[in-house]
Amino acid sequence: MPRILLAEDDDSLRGFLARALERAGYEVTPCADGEEAVAVLDQEWDLLLTDIVMPGMDGIEVARQAAARHPGLRIMFITGFAAVALAASESAPTGAKVLSKPIHLREIVSEVERMMAA
């Protein structure tokens, strides 16, 4: 079963995303912030799905550390800030996808499925 590391500081969104992805057949490990996500990076992951703007360590730094430890790891960002999304696309690891909030859960699941199939 493909494994997803989910870092999202919004409790309700994190729960919704985790449940939607689990229903789609993924094993999801939800983390409330970047530090929590980095603490489990040494495990094997198929995809990192992270918010960009989080208190403490942001999603860009989480992605950099994840990419350094797991070359070829699929990385997807979600953000509610358009300017952050544009900046993230420039400083994110190569091949990372940036999705802007608000986004429907079905759309995120579809994007995850596309990334996992690639």
User: What superfamily does domain 3-117 belong to in CATH?
Assistant: Response regulator (3.40.50.2300)
- Predicted TM-score (pTM) of the model is 0.90
The candidate with the shortest Cα–Cα distance to 76, out of 25, 17, 1, 36, is: 17
Confidence of residue 90 (pLDDT cuts 50, 70, 90): low
Query: Over 60: is that where the pLDDT of 82 sits?
Result: no
**DSSP E strand stretches across 1-118:** 3-7, 27-31, 47-51, 74-79, 97-100
Query: Over 60: is that where the pLDDT of 85 sits?
Result: no
Query: Over 90: is that where the pLDDT of 29 sits?
Result: yes
Residue boundaries of the structural domains of the chain:
3-117
